[in-house]
């Protein structure tokens, strides 16, 4: 259910601020979004998998808090991340 290492590297390269950046909010939000999309597909097929559902909710709340932080610190970057990931808000 996790994303592959190659896909994660691609996402990091697309959203990193500089070479080797893996911890910026933009990168973390993009990786969490990919994981959330992957788990959402799993839950659609396995509706009674409540352990995965709990993990999904934790990841969604973590992404939400990172988005709130990014919105306060750098509103321009927040708008770019929202548009590029196709998130509503």
**For domain 5-85, is the CATH number 1.20.1050.10?**
no
Tokens of 41: 């597909």
pLDDT for 14: 95
pLDDT (tens digit, 0 to 9) for every residue of the chain, 89 residues total? 789 999 999 999 999 999 999 999 999 999 999 999 999 999 999 999 999 999 999 999 999 999 999 999 999 999 999 999 999 75
**Predicted model pTM:** 0.92
Backbone angles phi, psi at 59, to 5 degrees: -70, -40
- Angstrom distances, CA of residue 70 to CA of 15, 26, 30, 75, 77: 14, 8, 13, 7, 7
Q: Provide the pLDDT for residue 89.
A: 57
Q: Where are the domains of the chain?
A: 5-85
* pLDDT of amino acid 2: 83
Closest CA to 81 of 35, 48, 32, 36: 32
- d(C-alpha 74, C-alpha 59), whole Å: 22
Output b/e per residue, 47-68; b: 16+ Cβ within 10 A: eeeeeebebbeebeeebeebbe
């Amino acid at each position: 259910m996790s994303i592959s290492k190659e896909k994660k590297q691609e996402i990091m390269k697309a959203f990193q601020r500089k070479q080797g950046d893996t911890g910026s909010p933009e990168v973390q939000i993009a990786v969490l979004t990919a994981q959330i999309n992957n788990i959402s597909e799993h839950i659609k097929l396995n509706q009674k998998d409540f352990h995965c559902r709990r993990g999904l909710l934790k990841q969604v709340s973590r992404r939400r808090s990172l988005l709130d932080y990014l919105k306060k610190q750098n509103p321009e970057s927040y708008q770019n991340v929202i548009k590029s990931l196709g998130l509503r808000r």
